[in-house]
Structure 1
């Protein structure tokens, strides 16, 4: 289980972890298993842990006053699942994070994560790179949602995240893209032709 995380850190930083660093990581992270439909975080709770997904799939969503839901993030293996604002500021979350499949995670508190980053240079470097890539991805997603057609949004999504296509139902992907499931169905059918 921990080897997946070690490999991830190495891919991001191009530096091998020492045995001592691996032990520090093992001591800081806690394995957790979620069953499908089990919540990692519920709206209104404080997001006290981030979770590195070793196996499985999760989604971050919110619910409107009428009971409708909006998928705002999708996570699979080698993704970090948390609600950034709540995790960083320790405020009640506006979102829920739910296991979409049976999911195995390695979890850590923000305090422990920051302490690891001071003791292990590779963790600090990984965190910086992840943060940069996260900001770039969010900016790209915002640009696509403001200025592009449903067809272009789906095309970019399928090219950027092919691992999501068969892991999440069509209505969740449509919600993530900000389109209706009927529009997504039409777009997908056109792209198959």
Structure 2
């Protein structure tokens, strides 16, 4: 497999020397998952952070009643894992499951620590990614309090136009925190308005 998608992504933000690039490549692994396979399971310690080359994943919390609460979808050129578990090496709060056959570049916790020691500019790069994810998560929480379900759906469509075609409707409903029946009503209402 080829690390070029990850290198292209990193090169949008920082430049690596040839030596740094070779060191980084020596620390990554490639993995293919089938649709339905788990990358991380709730309660396990997340040992790897993953960069998606192709495919789509969902990050979700399973409550005691067996209800799935989707908090994130991830597609090509996005990172996926239970970041809280990865950073703290404590049990994961979330599951990460493949919605499609998915190819990943993975970096273990230990290799990540070594990469950050050897290539300090990558530490800033990864810090920026985590800060951006944290800010997006905060904004999502505020939207869930301040927007109607219909407004949240319209925001989702605008922000992530390609995801809706790739995931089942009931998963989008879960992401929005509504029932699939209510989601169908919203879509019907929007179709009438168009």
Please give the range of the TM-score, normalised by the shorter of the 2 chains.
over 0.9
Distance 2:6 2:64 in 1: 38
Distance in structure 2 (CA, Å) of the matches to 1:189 and 1:2: 43
Out of 181-190 and 131-140, give the one that drifted further: 181-190
**SS at the partner of 1:165?**
coil
Match of 1:20 in 2: 19
2:57 corresponds to: 58
Deviation larger for 47-56 or 64-73: 64-73
Q: CA RMSD in A?
A: 1.5
* Aligned positions, number: 191
Which one is further off, 86-95 or 97-106? 86-95
Q: Is the 8 A contact 1:9 1:122 kept in 2?
A: no
Give me the TM-score of the superposition, normalised by structure 2.
0.92
Moved over 6 A (4+): none
Instruction: Give the match's secondary structure for 1:46.
Output: coil
Matches within 5 A, 1:5-154: 5-11=6-12, 13=13, 15-154=14-153
- Decide whether the 8 Å contact of 1:83 with 1:95 is kept in 2: yes
Distance in 1 of aligned mates of 2:84 and 2:146: 26
For structure 2, the residue ranges without an aligned partner over 5 or more in a row are none
Take 1:125 and 1:166, find their aligned partners in 2: how far apart are those partners?
Answer: 34
SS in 2 for 1:72: strand
TM-score (norm 1): 0.92
Q: 1:121: Cα distance to partner? A: 4.1
Matched, 1:4 2:16: no
